[in-house]
Structure 1
Amino acid sequence: MLLRAGGFFLQHLVLSVVLILLTGCASMGDLGISNFVDLLSNKDEVEINEEEIAALKALPQIPILWQLGLNKSEIAVFSPIYENGAVYAADAKGQLVRLDPATGKENWQVETEHKLSGGVGAGHGMILIGTFKGEVLAFDEMGNERWKARVTSEVLSPPQVDSGVVIARSGDGRIFGLDAADGKRKWVYQGPTPALTMRNFTSVLIYRGAVFAGLAGGKLIAMNLVNGNVGWEATVSQPRGVTELERMTDIAGLPVIDDQQVCAVAYNGRIACFEIADGNQIWARDASSNVGLTMDNNNVYVSEDRGAVVAYDKRSGAMMWKQAKLGSRKLSAPLVVRGALLAVGDAEGNVSLLRRHDGSLVARAATDGSAILSRPEYIPDGFVVQTSKGGIYAFAAQ
């Protein structure tokens, strides 16, 4: 359901929802993903004219490699992951599957008997998913359960693993370091939490023994993977405005990194890049995204919350191009794919390919008409997406 901004009804609805949230009578989950994101988008809905619609329909079709169906998700956001020659995917009813990335053939399926809320994470021989009861479930690559650990609330994002430590984020804003061998808690981080925050499906980035995490309130932190000690904290965006809704500026999406810098983007705030070693700011620009960004050797690419993909020079922050004719105001985070292309999904279940050097549209494909909320995922022959209805679609990137 789309809600138009600017009307008398929406203004009063937003106020009512905020009051409910602040008094603790409802959770973000009660509102649903798409409804809450629309409420946050306090901007006019982007109008697409007939010429633009015709241009989108005239684009070449992205070749589809294979597709299959899992169960739909009303609240949780799931993303397939490619790891060690296989694709792993999960759904809200508790299915975890391993697929052949070339054909989509199912190698095995596990009925976890849990209502899943986040996944899939993978690495170092482990497959990781989270539940609404605050459980982290760890499996091996053959689908055998290794352990189950409990954190303090629902696990909305894919847990990550490296160097013997599993990192899981809970819905109450905490970040947990768990022993990869048995799931026992090694450390926990909890920073200050604003009065009103977005329902965040974003995981963490692990790089060279450090954990980089975007927080509510516009902060980006770097922590030691082994003990959870904070190395530095940087401000991506400062809260602005009078009301709690106006001041909401949570970090959206996963940070991106190279050998010199780490970048993040905030809702209703800025995109900023920082030096890895000490968190000193390199550059920052005004921007707003509720899904995130990606990076290649030259640029940082952001899916903005009004339906545009914008490229910034990653060294200077200069805007290189903007593509705003994608036919939807709600996009997924973009993925860098081979052939100098970007792949991005949208709320209507479409996938678009853009040229990285100028943002021009190359090709497009439809899925099942339901939202693609997570970033497309790399596979050797292209990329794969998961829709809210549970559809898994693999496309060739040519």
Structure 2
Amino acid sequence: MQITVTRRGLRNTVLALSMLALAGCSMFSNKNPRYDPVPLTEYAAGVSANVAWSVSIGSGGSFGFVPVLVGDSVYAAAPNGAVSKVDLASGRVQWRGDAKTDLTAGVGSDGGTTAVAAADGTVVAFDDSGTEKWRAKATSAVNIPPAVGAGVVVVRSSDYRIQAFDAATGEPRWNIQRPGPALALKTNMQMIIVDGMLISGLPNGRMMAINASNGSVQWEGTISVSQGATDLERISDVVGTPQIQGPLLCGVAYQGRAVCFDVSQGGRPVWEQNFSSNTGMATDIQQAYIADQRDVVHAFALADGHEVWKQDGLRNRRLSAPAVVPQAVAFGDFEGYVHFLSRTDGKLLGRVKVGGDAITSPLLATDRGVLVQTGNGNLVLVGVN
């Protein structure tokens, strides 16, 4: 996956310079064949995967968009401002909303309030009929999906501020700001609300647990510490979605580490591995699954962090963040394929093409299969047997 680097202040100039720098050492440069995506190979099929349904939810795709499952309904948004609620079983659109502005992030939903965000920091909330409830303004651009729950809508803006708005009225409730690095990634990142606690990774390599109702910080832990002589070398953002399995809270950083903390013992680190991921991890009760910068997939034991297996058959295919289903662990790629790997040993078990250009949104596991938001604004359910 290609990564866009952004900077606070002089944003456009530095963005252009950063992209030129990255282009010179691109993992997909034709000047060095070892960075080319590996071709698809034959494999012994171990699962059957098929498109159960596909529906258009708008147009476009980007890192800040990921579907949300609440009960039997899927909430999703697209960069052109379209917001939808879709029945998981059939793919039938239950309602459509319009934010009336281009979006940079969405969605967050608890089933009662569904929120999206725009480049200028505008946060738009809808009720569960698709009618706009309110608009509010964050302090700067929002590029990761809002988190909704515990009576609040929470966004993290590009000035490294976490802000909460009342879910019913849109009135500001609290905000927290931490010092941020000179450069930060624009890639897949998500916040979650669990048992009234907001869990968020940060661009400074740290993870926070915040009381969602009042904004009091309950815990901070270090995933990674910046190293290197240049701003590019010192990027150490926590990426993907925080993972919770029993007492463990796990995360991974770019140019950093994968770490699991034990929240029942004050958040002490249980294990850590030097690692660099562009997209984040997924977990089940036994293992964490993560693709590294070269799209080599690794499985680590949750108990002690030892490496169980790795799979390089998808190297340089710009993999999405994964999803774990009973039959396999799934990754999307830059050609619109969804690949299924054995959770036991990493062997390739199946693949299906869903189309729609590169899959940049994280995959979402459901009890009916894997939800995929494609690069051209489709929402697809892939059934797995």
The two structures have a TM-score, normalised by structure 2, of 0.89
Structure-2 separation of matches of 1:39 and 1:95: 36
TM-superposed deviation, 1:246: 0.9
Equivalent residues in 2 for 1:2-151, closer than 5 Å? 24-26=10-12, 45-47=34-36, 53-55=40-42, 62-73=49-60, 77-151=64-138
The correspondence for 1:204, drawn from 182, 191, 197, is 191
Once the two structures are TM-superposed, the CA of residue 54 in structure 1 deviates from its matched residue by 3.1
Aligned partner of residue 116 in structure 1, secondary structure: coil
- How much identity, in percent, do the aligned residues show? 34
Partner of 1:397: 384
Partner of 1:12 in structure 2? none
How do 1:307-346 residues align onto structure 2 when only pairs under 5 Å count?
Answer: 307-326=295-314, 328-339=316-327, 341-346=328-333
1:294 and 2:282 are equivalent in the alignment: yes
Structure 1 residues 295 and 60: CA distance shift in structure 2, 3 A: closer
- Residue 112 to residue 2, structure 1, CA distance change in 2 (3 Å): closer
Change (3 A) 1:74 1:146: closer
Cα distance change, pair 172–354 in 1 and its aligned pair in 2 (3 A) = same
Contact 2:53 2:382 in 1 (8 A): yes
Secondary structure of 1:290's counterpart equals: coil
Residues 395, 186 of structure 1: CA spacing in aligned structure 2 closer, same or farther, 3 A cutoff?
A: same
Asked if 1:378 is matched to 2:378, the reply is no
**In structure 2, how many angstroms separate the alpha carbons of the residues matched to 1:37 and 1:295?**
30
Tell me, yes or no, if the aligned pair for 1:338 and 1:382 is still in contact at 8 Å. Answer: no
Find 2:171's aligned residue among 154, 169, 184.
Answer: 184
* 1:13-57 CA-partner distances (Å, limit 9, x unpaired): xxxx98x9587251787799x9998778679754566xx633269
- Gap change, CA 1:85 and 1:346, over 3 Å in 2: same
> Amino acid of the residue matched to residue 381 of structure 1?
R
Q: Distance in 2 between matches of 1:223 and 1:304?
A: 28
Instruction: Give me the whole-angstrom Cα distance separating, in 1, the residues matched to 2:112 and 2:155.
Output: 17
Q: Is the 8 A contact 2:271 2:304 kept in 1?
A: yes
- Per mean C-alpha deviation after superposition, the further-off stretch among 157-166 and 266-275 is 157-166
Larger displacement relative to structure 2 (206-215 or 260-269):
206-215
What amino acid does structure 2 have at the position aligned with 1:388? G
Q: Give the CA deviation at 1:241.
A: 1.4
* Poorly superposed stretches of 4+, deviation over 4 Å: 20-23, 27-32, 34-45, 56-61
- Change in Cα spacing, 1:74 to 1:337, as seen in structure 2 (3 Å) is closer
Cα pair 1:73 1:91 within 8 Å, conserved:
yes
Q: CA RMSD in A?
A: 2.9
Q: Is the Cα–Cα contact under 8 Å of residues 79 and 374 in structure 1 kept in the other structure?
A: yes
**TM-score in terms of structure 1 length:** 0.86
Unpaired runs of 5+ residues, structure 1, are 4-16
2:250 aligned partner: 263
Gaps of 5+ in 2: none
Distance 1:185 1:2, change over 3 A: closer
Report if the CA contact (8 A) 2:8-2:158 is conserved: no
Q: Provide the C-alpha distance between the structure 1 equivalents of 2:368 and 2:61, rounded to a whole number of angstroms.
A: 30
